[in-house]
Amino acid sequence: MRIALLQAAAVPLDVDHDLAVIDAAAADAAARGAELLLTPELFPVGYAPARIRAELTDTTIEDAAVRLAAIARRHGIALVHSLPSPADPHRGITATLVDAAGTVRGVHTKTHLFGPAEQEAFRPGEARPPLVELGGLTLGLLICYEVEFPETVRDLAVRGADVVLVPTALAGCPTVARTLVPARAVENGITVAYANHCGLEDGLVFDGESVVAGPDGAPAPRLEAGPEPASSSAEVAPARAGGDPELLVAEVGPARGHLTPHQDPDGPWYLHDRRPALYRRWAEED
């Protein structure tokens, strides 16, 4: 399955601008053969927790969701977008997977909010992250800080995720994209796609460094724009962005964390070899 990641700067609270960026990225991604476009955390409204709390109306959010579904339908591409929940009953940070027909296939509310600014503006979700079957693969959803906790990705991988899609807003901590995201991929034998903002937004300079980390921990091969290379043995760059705006395109495939030594003589066999009963017993010793 071919996926695309949007890395760009949003303009806080300028929904028309931000949806135009997503619309252009969806057109580009579809033209490059991608079946799904992953966009950064809260991109349609900008990453601005206090301003979202103070200035954003439920009507604006609901209208943005309708327009995002229309973008998916218009370009015939599945879309993962991230919006605040409506204020009633309480505002969370969500990620939604809309398919190419514009139908909502999965919604996740962020369970681990990062720091005082997010915790003042939002309430955390409680529900288990969803899995969505699409394009022959099982796709999981997480948001930003959540992927830094091994428990969240493990839960999705054990339940059969091939790919975990992560809208993020990461500033000033490149270790996450360079070390933790690849670790989540390799320790579960899955692919983790992590799409970040870049540049200045509401006073924060975002790291960029969006990445598609494959089951061996290395970035998936990056698919360049333009005609396919004549030779399949051509050098391919890894699917890891720098600090500038970019549409990152890569092929993703099935998980391998469930394989046994009979199926894969070389290992590692992380999901096969983990010992959940032992971990539970240890925790009961507290």
Could you tell me the smallest distance in angstroms from the CB atom of residue 13 to its own copies?
25
Q: Which residue blocks in 159-242 are alpha helix, DSSP H?
A: 175, 181-188
- 88/284 with CB nearer its own copies: 284
Question: Rg of the chain's alpha carbons, rounded to an integer?
Answer: 18
Q: Which stretch binds its own copies (CB under 8 A): 134-142, 212-220, 233-241, 250-258?
A: 212-220
* Residues 19 and 6 sit within 8 Å (Cβ to Cβ): no
Look at residue 240 and give its three-state secondary structure: strand
Q: Which of 35, 55, 62, 110 is catalytic?
A: 110
Instruction: Give the residue, chosen from 53, 73, 112, 123, that forms a contact with its own copies under the rule CB under 8 A.
Output: 112
* Residues 243 and 209 sit within 8 Å (Cβ to Cβ): yes
Scanning residues 235 to 264, which ones bind its own copies (CB under 8 A)? Answer: 261
Q: Which stretch binds its own copies (CB under 8 A): 13-21, 30-38, 71-79, 268-276?
A: 268-276
Residue 110 annotated in active site: yes
Residue 201 annotated in active site: no
Q: Which of 35, 118, 144, 246 is catalytic?
A: 144
Could you tell me the smallest distance in angstroms from the CB atom of residue 273 to its own copies?
6
- 83/186 with CB nearer its own copies: 186
What distance, in Å, lies between the first and last C-alpha atoms of the chain? 44
Could you tell me the smallest distance in angstroms from the CB atom of residue 97 to its own copies?
19
Could you tell me the smallest distance in angstroms from the CB atom of residue 279 to its own copies?
5
Instruction: Give the residue, chosen from 57, 103, 179, 263, that forms a contact with its own copies under the rule CB under 8 A.
Output: 179
Task: Give the span between the Cα atoms of 76 and 159, in whole angstroms.
Answer: 28
* Residues 147 and 180 sit within 8 Å (Cβ to Cβ): yes
Look at residue 63 and give its three-state secondary structure: helix
Residue 173 annotated in active site: no
Task: Give the span between the Cα atoms of 278 and 73, in whole angstroms.
Answer: 47
218 binds its own copies (CB under 8 A): yes
Q: Which of 41, 201, 209, 246 is catalytic?
A: 41
Could you tell me the smallest distance in angstroms from the CB atom of residue 137 to its own copies?
21
Task: Give the span between the Cα atoms of 228 and 249, in whole angstroms.
Answer: 13
Scanning residues 48 to 67, which ones bind its own copies (CB under 8 A)? Answer: none
Which stretches does DSSP call E strand in 85-214? 93-98, 104-109, 131-134, 137-141, 163-167, 191-195, 198-201, 204-207, 211-213
Number of helical (H) and strand (E) elements in the chain, helices listed first: 9, 13
Q: Which amino acid, one-letter code, is at 131?
A: L
Tokens at residue 147, please?
A: 């992927």
Task: Give the span between the Cα atoms of 136 and 84, in whole angstroms.
Answer: 29
Scanning residues 116 to 175, which ones bind its own copies (CB under 8 A)? Answer: 116, 126, 128, 145, 148-151, 154-155, 159, 172-173, 175
Binding site for its own copies (CB under 8 A): 111-112, 114-116, 126, 128, 145, 148-151, 154-155, 159, 172-173, 175, 179-180, 182-184, 186-187, 216-218, 261, 266-270, 273-276, 278-279, 281-283, 285-286
Catalytic residue IDs: 41, 110, 144
